[in-house]
Chain A
Amino acid sequence: MKNFIELKKVKKTYVIGEQKFNALDGVDLEIKKGELVVILGPSGAGKSTLLNLLGGMDKITSGSIMIDNQDIGKYNDKELTKYRANDVGFIFQFYNIMPTLTVDENVNLIKDVTKTNKESKEVLKKVGLLKHADKFPQELSGGEQQRVSIARAIMKNPKLLLCDEPTGALDSKTGVEVLKLLRQQSDEDTTVIIVTHNSLIAEIADRVIKIKNGKVEENKLNSHPKKIDEVKW
Chain B
Amino acid sequence: MLNKKMFRDIKNNLSQFITIFLMILIGVMAYSGIEAYMGGMQKTKDKFYSENNIQDLNVIGANFTVDDLKTIKNIDNVNGAERKLSVTATTDNDKTLLLNFIESNNISKFYVFKGEKFDPNKSGIWLDNFYAIENDINVGDTILVKYEDLELKEKVLGLINVPDHLYDVRDESELYPDRKEFGFAYVSINEIKEDYIKKRAMKEMNITDENIFDMYVKDFNYKDYLIFNSVMVDIKTKEKRDKVKEDIEDKVENAKAIINIEDTSSYVTYQGEIDEGKTYVGVFSGLFLFIAMLSVITTMTRVVKKQRQQIGTLKALGFNNRKILFHYIGYGFWIAVIASILGLLLGYIFIGRVFISLEMAFFEIPNGKPAMATSSYIVALGVVLIVALITYITGRSILKENPAETLRNKIPNVKSRSINFTKKSIFKKLKFESIWNLRDILRNKMRTLMGIAGVVGCCMLIVCALGMLDSMNFFVDLQFSTLYNFNYKLNLNNNIDNNQLDELYKKYGSHTSQTIGIEIKNKKGKRESNNIFVTDAKNYVRFVDRKNNIISPPKDNGVFITKKLSETKGYKLGDTITWHIYGNNKYYTSKIIGFNKDPQNQNVTMTRKYLESLGINYKPDSLYTNIDLNKEKEIDNVETIQDIESLKEDMTNMLSMMKTMLVLIIGFAILLGTIIIYNLGILSYTEKQYQFATLKVLGFDNKKITKIFIKQNNWIAIISIIMGLPLGYYLTDWLFKTAIEEHYDFGASIKFKTYVIAAISTFIVSYLVSKLLSKKIKNIDMVSSLKGNE
B113 in the interface, Cβ–Cβ < 8 Å? no
Given A100-B419, A102-B423, A136-B419, check contact A55 B432 (CB 8 Å): no
Cβ–Cβ contact B699 & A113, under 8 A = yes
Given A84-B698, A105-B432, A114-B699, check contact A100 B790 (CB 8 Å): no
Cβ–Cβ contact B786 & A92, under 8 A = yes
Q: Which of B435, B700, B783, B789 makes the CB contact (< 8 A) with A101?
A: B435
CB neighbours of A94 from chain B (8 A): 789-790
B424-437 interface mask toward A, CB cutoff 8 Å, 1 = contact, 0 = none? 00000001100110
Tell me the B412-467 residues at the A interface (CB within 8 Å): 412-414, 416, 419, 423, 431-432, 435-436, 439-440, 443
Query: Given the complex of chains A and B, what is the CA–CA distance between A102 and B422 in angstroms?
Result: 10
Given A136-B414, A138-B414, A138-B416, check contact A96 B697 (CB 8 Å): yes
Which interface residue of A82, A84, A135 has the most chain B CB atoms within 10 A? A84
Which interface residue of B440, B691, B697 has the most chain A CB atoms within 10 A? B697
Cβ–Cβ contact A52 & B440, under 8 A = no
A109 in the interface, Cβ–Cβ < 8 Å? yes
How close is B789's CB to chain A, nearest CB, in angstroms?
7
Query: Given the complex of chains A and B, what is the CA–CA distance between A105 and B432 in angstroms?
Result: 8
Given A57-B783, A58-B783, check contact A100 B436 (CB 8 Å): yes
B701 in the interface, Cβ–Cβ < 8 Å? yes
Which interface residue of B439, B440, B698 has the most chain A CB atoms within 10 A? B698
B357 in the interface, Cβ–Cβ < 8 Å? no
A98 in the interface, Cβ–Cβ < 8 Å? yes
A110 in the interface, Cβ–Cβ < 8 Å? yes
B363-390 interface mask toward A, CB cutoff 8 Å, 1 = contact, 0 = none? 0000000000000000000000000000
A70-109 interface mask toward B, CB cutoff 8 Å, 1 = contact, 0 = none? 0000000010011111101010111011111110010011
Tell me the A44-59 residues at the B interface (CB within 8 Å): 48, 52, 55, 57-58
Given A100-B443, A105-B435, check contact A57 B416 (CB 8 Å): no
**At the interface, is chain B mostly helix, strand, loop or mixed?**
helix
How close is B656's CB to chain A, nearest CB, in angstroms?
52
Cβ–Cβ contact B783 & A112, under 8 A = no
A174-206 interface mask toward B, CB cutoff 8 Å, 1 = contact, 0 = none? 000000000000000000000000000000000
- In the complex, the chain B residue whose C-beta lies closest to that of A53 is B783
B694 in the interface, Cβ–Cβ < 8 Å? yes
CB neighbours of B690 from chain A (8 A): 96
Tell me the B674-712 residues at the A interface (CB within 8 Å): 690-691, 694, 696-702, 704
Q: Which of A83, A92, A98 makes the CB contact (< 8 A) with B436?
A: A98
Cβ–Cβ contact A109 & B432, under 8 A = yes
Cβ–Cβ contact B699 & A85, under 8 A = yes
Query: Given the complex of chains A and B, what is the CA–CA distance between A98 and B699 in angstroms?
Result: 14
B782 in the interface, Cβ–Cβ < 8 Å? yes
How close is B700's CB to chain A, nearest CB, in angstroms?
6
Given A99-B412, A134-B423, check contact A93 B697 (CB 8 Å): no
Cβ–Cβ contact B439 & A113, under 8 A = no
Cβ–Cβ contact B416 & A136, under 8 A = yes
Given A57-B782, A100-B439, check contact A110 B698 (CB 8 Å): yes
Q: Which of B443, B699, B704 makes the CB contact (< 8 A) with A82?
A: B699
Query: Given the complex of chains A and B, what is the CA–CA distance between A96 and B411 in angstroms?
Result: 11
- In the complex, the chain B residue whose C-beta lies closest to that of A165 is B790
Q: Which of B440, B443, B697, B790 makes the CB contact (< 8 A) with A57?
A: B697
Given A58-B783, A136-B419, check contact A81 B701 (CB 8 Å): yes
Q: Which of B436, B443, B698 makes the CB contact (< 8 A) with A85?
A: B698
A139 in the interface, Cβ–Cβ < 8 Å? yes
CB neighbours of B416 from chain A (8 A): 135-136, 138-139
Query: Given the complex of chains A and B, what is the CA–CA distance between A136 and B699 in angstroms?
Result: 22
How close is A2's CB to chain B, nearest CB, in angstroms?
26
Query: Given the complex of chains A and B, what is the CA–CA distance between A65 and B4 in angstroms?
Result: 44
Query: Given the complex of chains A and B, what is the CA–CA distance between A105 and B783 in angstroms?
Result: 24
CB neighbours of B704 from chain A (8 A): 112-113
Query: Given the complex of chains A and B, what is the CA–CA distance between A114 and B695 in angstroms?
Result: 13
Tell me the A18-62 residues at the B interface (CB within 8 Å): 48, 52, 55, 57-58
Query: Given the complex of chains A and B, what is the CA–CA distance between A92 and B702 in angstroms?
Result: 21
Given A78-B701, A86-B699, check contact A98 B435 (CB 8 Å): no
Tell me the A134-155 residues at the B interface (CB within 8 Å): 134-139, 152
Query: Given the complex of chains A and B, what is the CA–CA distance between A44 and B690 in angstroms?
Result: 22
Query: Given the complex of chains A and B, what is the CA–CA distance between A88 and B697 in angstroms?
Result: 9
Query: Given the complex of chains A and B, what is the CA–CA distance between A78 and B419 in angstroms?
Result: 35
Query: Given the complex of chains A and B, what is the CA–CA distance between A99 and B690 in angstroms?
Result: 11
Cβ–Cβ contact A90 & B414, under 8 A = no
Query: Given the complex of chains A and B, what is the CA–CA distance between A101 and B431 in angstroms?
Result: 12
Query: Given the complex of chains A and B, what is the CA–CA distance between A99 and B411 in angstroms?
Result: 9
CB neighbours of B694 from chain A (8 A): 96-98
Cβ–Cβ contact A93 & B432, under 8 A = no
How close is A102's CB to chain B, nearest CB, in angstroms?
6
Given A93-B790, A99-B412, check contact A85 B700 (CB 8 Å): yes
CB neighbours of B443 from chain A (8 A): 100
Cβ–Cβ contact B700 & A55, under 8 A = no
CB neighbours of A109 from chain B (8 A): 432, 698
CB neighbours of A134 from chain B (8 A): 423
CB neighbours of A110 from chain B (8 A): 698
Query: Given the complex of chains A and B, what is the CA–CA distance between A207 and B318 in angstroms?
Result: 47
CB neighbours of A96 from chain B (8 A): 690, 694, 697, 786, 789
Which interface residue of A81, A86, A90 has the most chain B CB atoms within 10 A? A81
Q: Which of B411, B700, B702, B789 makes the CB contact (< 8 A) with A112?
A: B700
How close is A48's CB to chain B, nearest CB, in angstroms?
8
Query: Given the complex of chains A and B, what is the CA–CA distance between A57 and B693 in angstroms?
Result: 10
Which interface residue of A78, A85, A97, A108 has the most chain B CB atoms within 10 A? A85
Cβ–Cβ contact A113 & B423, under 8 A = no
Query: Given the complex of chains A and B, what is the CA–CA distance between A114 and B704 in angstroms?
Result: 13
CB neighbours of B436 from chain A (8 A): 98, 100-101
Tell me the B757-790 residues at the A interface (CB within 8 Å): 782-783, 786, 789-790
How close is A201's CB to chain B, nearest CB, in angstroms?
19
Cβ–Cβ contact A100 & B440, under 8 A = yes
How close is B780's CB to chain A, nearest CB, in angstroms?
11
How close is A154's CB to chain B, nearest CB, in angstroms?
13
How close is A39's CB to chain B, nearest CB, in angstroms?
16
B598-625 interface mask toward A, CB cutoff 8 Å, 1 = contact, 0 = none? 0000000000000000000000000000
Cβ–Cβ contact A90 & B697, under 8 A = yes
Query: Given the complex of chains A and B, what is the CA–CA distance between A135 and B414 in angstroms?
Result: 12
CB neighbours of A97 from chain B (8 A): 694
CB neighbours of A100 from chain B (8 A): 414, 419, 436, 439-440, 443
Query: Given the complex of chains A and B, what is the CA–CA distance between A92 and B432 in angstroms?
Result: 22
Query: Given the complex of chains A and B, what is the CA–CA distance between A139 and B700 in angstroms?
Result: 26
CB neighbours of A152 from chain B (8 A): 698
Query: Given the complex of chains A and B, what is the CA–CA distance between A206 and B416 in angstroms?
Result: 41
Query: Given the complex of chains A and B, what is the CA–CA distance between A25 and B432 in angstroms?
Result: 41
CB neighbours of A90 from chain B (8 A): 697-698
CB neighbours of A93 from chain B (8 A): 790
CB neighbours of B435 from chain A (8 A): 101, 105
CB neighbours of B702 from chain A (8 A): 81
Cβ–Cβ contact B414 & A99, under 8 A = yes
Which interface residue of B412, B416, B436, B702 has the most chain A CB atoms within 10 A? B416
A106-136 interface mask toward B, CB cutoff 8 Å, 1 = contact, 0 = none? 0011101110000000000000000000111
On A, residues with C-beta under 8 Å from B are 48, 52, 55, 57-58, 78, 81-86, 88, 90, 92-94, 96-102, 105, 108-110, 112-114, 134-139, 152
5 new A-B contacts, CB < 8 A, other than A90-B697, A100-B414, A138-B414, are A81-B699, A85-B701, A86-B699, A112-B700, A137-B414
For this complex, 21 residue pairs linking A to B, each with C-beta atoms less than 8 Å apart, are: A52-B783, A55-B697, A57-B783, A81-B696, A84-B696, A84-B697, A84-B698, A92-B786, A96-B690, A96-B789, A99-B411, A99-B412, A99-B414, A101-B435, A102-B423, A108-B432, A112-B432, A112-B700, A138-B411, A139-B416, A152-B698
The 5 closest A-B pairs by CB, nearest first: A85-B699, A100-B439, A84-B699, A113-B699, A136-B416
